[in-house]
Structure formats: structure tokens, C-alpha cells
Amino acid sequence: NLIARSVVKTDSLIGADKQINLTLTTSQSLEILKPDIFKEFIDRGKIIIRDEGTAVSYTLISAEVKYGSSFSDGIFGGILIQREIVIRGNLTVSRTGFVPRPSEFTETALDTIELEDISSIENKSIPFTQAPIPSRPLLSTFWEPIIVVGTLIGSVILLFTVRSK
């Protein structure tokens, strides 16, 4: 989880403080991620307060999905696409009597998915889950049917040639 990995980075900035005054800032399209961010801080043992003390400002700047070029999983396999998911943001920790310590983060996750699964993975109501989908590779749309038909024709010719002798 990319949000969890970004929250882990706050541990080195916060130190041993368990109680924090957490401020979250995101764009409107990323508001849906706020509960996950709060949950990750709580799961890491932080107690969120609204008093003075250690103030943590977590700003989620962007979240995006990018698709690489598509490739075939063997001659008769499905079409696969490498997907890259990236989140970027800033963390600032302020303590009474100390200068704020800003820190930027970029978290990336890579995986490979099937072309047919993209429509079920992307959420049409959440824009940052969508990206332009690359076209199918030429090999699968052109050469694979030719190979199949050629093999079939060759097999039929061999069958009747060997049988007639």
C-alpha cells in the first residue's frame, strides 16, 4: 500500500512522539483517500489530537496510474500491461521551539495486469485510477491468426499426403 509506505516515513521525522496534531491537505479528487491516511497513522500507534504538541502536516499532491506498452503472454496467452501507480506528497513536522522539518515523498508500485481486466480495475468515478490504455501489440492482432491458420493448413496437407501413400 503506497499510503502506508508514505506514512512510515513520518516515523523518522516524528521520533518517539505518539500524540500528534494531524492536518491533511489534498485536492478534491484525492479526498477519498483521507480516511485511509488517518487509519494508517492510527495503525502505526499514533494518537491524533487537536492540541498543541507535535504537528504533522500531510499533503497528498498527486496520485496517478500509468500503463506501459502491452505485450503478449506467449503465442496464445493473454495481453499483459505493466502498470505503474505513483503518489507524491509533502510531510512537515513542527514541534514547539523547533524549526519545521519538511520532507517530500514519492511512492511507486509496479504490477502487471491483463488488458481485459483494466475496465474492472479502474473506477470510473475516481479520475486518478484511470489512464490512457495502450493499443494491442501487432503480433497478437496480425501474426497469431496467421500462425494458427498456417499450422492448420499444414497439418491437413500432411495428413492427406501421408495417408495417400
Q: Are residues 113 and 149 in the same domain?
A: no
The pLDDT score that the predictor gives to residue 154 is 92
Domain with 160, as residue range(s), is 135-165
The CATH number given to whatever domain includes residue 109 is: 3.30.160
How many whole angstroms separate alpha carbon 73 and alpha carbon 79? 6
Can you give the pLDDT at residue 141? 62
How far apart CA 72 and CA 65 sit, in angstroms, is 21
Helical H segments across the chain, by residue range: 2-14, 34-43, 118-121, 138, 144-164
pLDDT in tens, 56-65: 899 999 999 9
For the chain, list residues with pLDDT below 70: 75-76, 97, 137-143, 165
Shared-domain flag, residues 38 and 107: yes
Task: Look at residue 39 in the predicted model and tell me its pLDDT.
Answer: 93
Q: What is the count of structural domains for the chain? A: 2
Residue 54's pLDDT is 82
Same domain assignment for residues 124 and 146: no
